[in-house]
Amino acid sequence: MTEAVSDFNLGETIVFWVCGGLAVLGALGMIISRKAVHSALFIALTMINLAILYVANAAPFLGMVQVIVYTGAVMMLFLFVLMVVGVDSSDSLVETIKGQRFAGLLLGIGLGLLLTVGIGSALTTSGDIGLTAANDAAGGNVQGLAQLMFDDYVVAFQATAALLITAAVGAMVLAHRERWTPRKSQPELSEERFRDGGHPGNRPSPGVYARHNAVDTPALLPDGSTSLDSVPGPLRARDDVRDVDPADVDEIRELTKGVDS
């Protein structure tokens, strides 16, 4: 790979076009899709394809880290969060600012063109150097990275610790809810539950007659009404409860006709 552009072998060319194309498609899909889950999956697609390209370009460590950290850890965390929020929830894509989309498209294309043309023309005139020499110098890709990280960039490496600590403390500060009352014991809790005359048992789970697997979709009761109790409190508080398709209600009513009468 120290040679000029024309010396790419066929396999590499195919990998580039396939993975590159998929990565771009994934990126586009991420922006266009309405549902957050789809977006997250599209990012994962892009990430994996980028990882393959990294490996193909003699940077196996980077490729692996990309898969393990981004696709594996970060994206899965995203998906967990989305599960809690409700996989089916989708944001309105109606643009409220006049001209925003058009201007965004225009400027985006402009910047894209400039970068493509600029970088493209620059790259065609200069040959590529590749990583082989760098990798060989330290006895391998991972060793080379280690060398840099613990030698020249040791301060930078240490400084990222500050970043991670800040992030962790920040997440705690923003999300961790401290109690200002003593924690209630089990007897107290059960006593309380019965005292106010509410529903003493478990709440219905969204799975009962549910036609969706999302937590924001309430369970349907046998009589065709919805049970708001089946939706987690925070979603109800935020008014994020999904409406139930009337067709589903009719169908349930049909199915349960005569069962409880």
Partner 1 sequence: MTEPGIFSLLWVLIALPLAGAAILLFGGRRTDRWGPYLGVLTVCTSAVIGVLMLLGLMALPAEERSITQTVYSWIAVGSLQVDFALQLDQLSMVFVLLITIVGALIHIYSLGYMAHDPDRRKFFGYLNLFVAAMLLLVLANNYLLLYVGWEGVGLASYLLIGFWQYKPSAAAAAKKAFIINRVGDVGLSLAIMLIFVTFGSVTFGEVFGQVGEASEGTLTAIGLLLLLAAAGKSAQFPLQAWLLDAMEGPTPVSALIHAATMVTAGVYLIVRSHVIFDAAVWAATAVVVVGLITIFMGAIIGSAKDDIKKSLAGSTMSQIGYMVFAAGLGPIGYIFAIFHLLTHGVFKAGLFLGAGSVMHGMNDDVNMRRYGTLKGLMVITFVTFMAGYLAIIGIPPFAGFWSKDEIIHAAFERNALIGVATILAAGITGFYMTRMIAMTFFGKARWEEGVHPHESPKVMTIPLIILAIGSTLLGMALLFWGNIESWLEPVTGFASEPTPFPTWVYIVVTLIVVIIGAIIGWVMYARRPVPIEAPRGSWLTRAARKDLYGDAVNDALVVRPSFALSKALTIFDARGVDGFVNGLAGSVGAISGRLRRTQTGFARSYALSMVGGALLVALALVLVQS
Partner 2 sequence: MEFISPELDYAALAPMIVVGVAAIISVLVEAFAPRSVRRFLQLVLVFTTLIGALVLVVLNSGMRVLTGGQSIALDGPAWIMQGTILILAILGGLLMAEGGVDPSGDAFAPRASALPGSEDERQFTIRGYLQTEVWPFLLFAVLGMMLFVASNDLLMMFIALEVMSLPLYLLAGMARRRRLLSQEAALKYFLLGAFSSAFFLFGAALIYGYSGSIAFGPISFAITTKAGENTLLLIGIAMLLVGLFFKIGAVPFHQWTPDVYQGAPTPVTGMMAATVKVAAFGALMRLLYVAFGGVRWDWEILLWIVAILSMLVGSIIAISQSDIKRMLAYSSIAQAGFILVGVVAASPQGLASVLFYLIAYGFTTIGAFAVISLVRNASGEATSIRDWAGLGKKSPLIAAIFSVFMLSLAGIPLTGGFIGKWGVFAAGVAAGDAWLVIVAVIASVIAAFFYVRVIVLMYFADPTPDTAAVVIPSGFTTVSLAAGATLTIALGIVPQPILDIIANAGVFIR
Interacting residues toward partner 1 by CB under 8 A: 91-92, 96-97, 100, 103-104, 107-108, 110-111, 114-115, 118, 238-240
Q: Which of 57, 147, 227, 256 binds partner 2 (CB under 8 A)?
A: 147
Stretch that binds partner 2, among 53-61, 139-147, 209-217, 244-252 (CB under 8 A): 139-147
φ/ψ (deg, to 5) at 113: -60, -50
Which is it for the CA torsion 155, 156, 160, 163, positive or negative?
A: positive
- Residue closer to partner 2, measured from CB, 97 or 162: 162
- Residue closer to partner 1, measured from CB, 106 or 171: 106
Report the b/e string of 134-163 with b at 16+ CB within 10 A.
Answer: ebeeeeebeebbeeeeeeeeeeeeeeeeee
User: Helix 10-32 and helix 36-56: axis angle, to 10°?
Assistant: 160
Q: Which of 4, 180, 186, 187 binds partner 2 (CB under 8 A)?
A: 180
CA–CA separation, 136 vs 50, rounded Å?
23
- With CB under 5 to 8 Å by kind, the binding choice for 9 among partner 1, partner 2, none is none
Question: Is position 162 an interface residue for partner 2 (rule: CB under 8 A)?
Answer: yes
CA–CA separation, 69 vs 103, rounded Å?
35
* Alpha-helix runs per DSSP H in the chain: 10-32, 36-56, 60-65, 75-85, 100-125, 132-137, 141-150, 154-175, 186-195, 233-237, 246-256
The CB-of-140 to partner 2 minimum distance in angstroms stands at 9
Question: Is position 175 an interface residue for partner 2 (rule: CB under 8 A)?
Answer: yes
The CB-of-110 to partner 1 minimum distance in angstroms stands at 5
User: Is 194 in contact with 200 (CB distance < 8 Å)?
Assistant: yes
Question: Is position 167 an interface residue for partner 2 (rule: CB under 8 A)?
Answer: yes
The CB-of-111 to partner 1 minimum distance in angstroms stands at 5
The CB-of-22 to partner 1 minimum distance in angstroms stands at 25
The CB-of-238 to partner 1 minimum distance in angstroms stands at 7
248: which residues sit within 8 A by CB, 6+ positions away? Answer: 211, 220
The CB-of-166 to partner 2 minimum distance in angstroms stands at 5
φ/ψ (deg, to 5) at 209: 55, 20
- With CB under 5 to 8 Å by kind, the binding choice for 104 among partner 1, partner 2, none is partner 1
Question: Is position 24 an interface residue for partner 2 (rule: CB under 8 A)?
Answer: no
Question: Is position 107 an interface residue for partner 2 (rule: CB under 8 A)?
Answer: no
